[in-house]
Amino acid sequence: MSAVSNAGDLGGFGAYTLSPREIYEADKKLKTATNKPYNINFWVSDTDAVNGTVSDEQFEKTKALYKPYFDEVNIPLPEKPAIFAPRFENQVNVILYIRPKVFSFMFGIPSQDILEESR
């Protein structure tokens, strides 16, 4: 990513799965690798699963729905994922602190307050 920025383009870093501490540490490494602008990207809508998970019942229903497709290509169904800890609101707080030149987002639009603070 820093090589892209150093070459004159805008390097991008997807941080959706990272904790605020991991984002902070990644930004420190990026700042030592380039003095050019770079982008840090998040997913705004990370609330598909209430409290970061789905119930066992919901997961089993979904598995049953997709099982024929997995069977058709002879691959095992995935296990139920662990609780997803990073949340957009926590992640964005570190972005507002580290203030990268570019902050992008997808799958939603941040609140007006976050948009104003980002500017």
Q: What is the pLDDT along the chain (119 residues), one digit of tens a residue?
A: 677 676 788 888 888 888 899 999 999 998 998 889 889 998 887 555 666 667 889 889 999 999 999 999 999 999 887 765 557 878 889 999 999 888 898 888 888 998 898 88
How many distinct structural domains can be found in the chain?
A: 1
User: Under a CB-based contact definition with an 8 Å cutoff, are residues 83 and 51 in contact?
Assistant: yes
pLDDT the model gives residue 10:
81
Distance separating alpha carbons of residues 72 and 49, to the nearest angstrom = 27
Task: Name which of 59, 57, 52, 12 is nearest 36 in CA terms.
Answer: 12
Distance separating alpha carbons of residues 77 and 58, to the nearest angstrom = 15
pLDDT the model gives residue 66:
96
pLDDT the model gives residue 1:
67
The Cα-based distances of 74 to 35, 63, 65, 69, 77 in angstroms read 48, 15, 16, 9, 9
pLDDT the model gives residue 117:
87
pLDDT the model gives residue 50:
60
pLDDT the model gives residue 60:
93
What residues contact residue 107 under an 8 Å CB cut-off, 6+ apart? 43, 44, 45, 46
Give residue 77's domain range.
Answer: 2-118
Please tell me the pTM assigned to this model.
Answer: 0.63
